[in-house]
Copies of this chain bind each other. A is one copy, B any other.
């Protein structure tokens, strides 16, 4: 609420056209529901264009059920839950209508019919082991209505596999480059396309990969323009951001 809006609202209070209680409600900036174990941001759909997402890793099945039910009972039609293990998903599914994908570990509660209409997001991986992170990105992007093209196992040590798919890349509005080990995929892709590249370092590797640090540093130092980086293994973050950019 800006100064002018505030002034006109207060004038409405002054001239009696707005009740004090109504004004109080309007002024209290952004409400949320406090359900003891969490403060659910119910206006996030309005403020940020997307309902709150549940990060499943640190939560019990019970906690997830409680939060999901609260959200479904209120405004939400469906709820995206990330990082859910098979076991936890099965437990949650006893109480909540749930779709679950064991590769991406993404669960979707409620009635959900993805549209996948928005322009192309291309998701490329360096190897086969990066697929789970890539799928977290892909299914997140699809949940938000994006059309996703998968380009897996196109790592830079066989650069012809990338070049052979230059057309697919050229058709992208955003590219997500998912790679562990040396993480060079982001730079090579970044040099081939004319759109934003979201780099996702993965913890795939051993020894001096130091849990994804090598790929992370590599991607941050990319000499290609238009590349930015999210946290190690953060497929959700990349998919969500790609959807945001795709909607511009």
Contact = CB atoms under 8 A, between A and B. Distances in A.
Contacts of A246: 248
A212 B218 contact: no
Contact of A206 (B44, B191, B233): B233
Interface string A113-151: 000000000000011110000000000000000000000
Given A59-B128, A129-B58, A222 B48 contact: no
Interface in A44-80: 44, 47-50, 53, 57-59, 63
Interface stretch (A35-43, A86-94, A104-112): A35-43
Interface in A195-231: 195-196, 198, 201, 203-231
A164 B233 CA distance: 33
Contacts of A225: 48, 50, 53, 157, 236-237, 240-241
A154 interface: yes
Interface string A161-195: 11110110000010000000111100110111111
A201 B220 CA distance: 11
B7 A10 contact: no
A193 B46 CA distance: 11
A207 B227 contact: no
A3 B156 CA distance: 22
A199 to B, nearest CB: 8
Nearest to A181: B221
Contacts of A216: 207-208, 220
Nearest to A2: B167
Given A209-B231, A227-B237, 5 more contacts: A29-B164, A44-B158, A48-B193, A207-B221, A208-B213
**Which 6 A-B residue pairings sit nearest by Cβ, starting from the closest?**
A207-B232, A184-B184, A58-B129, A157-B224, A157-B191, A228-B228
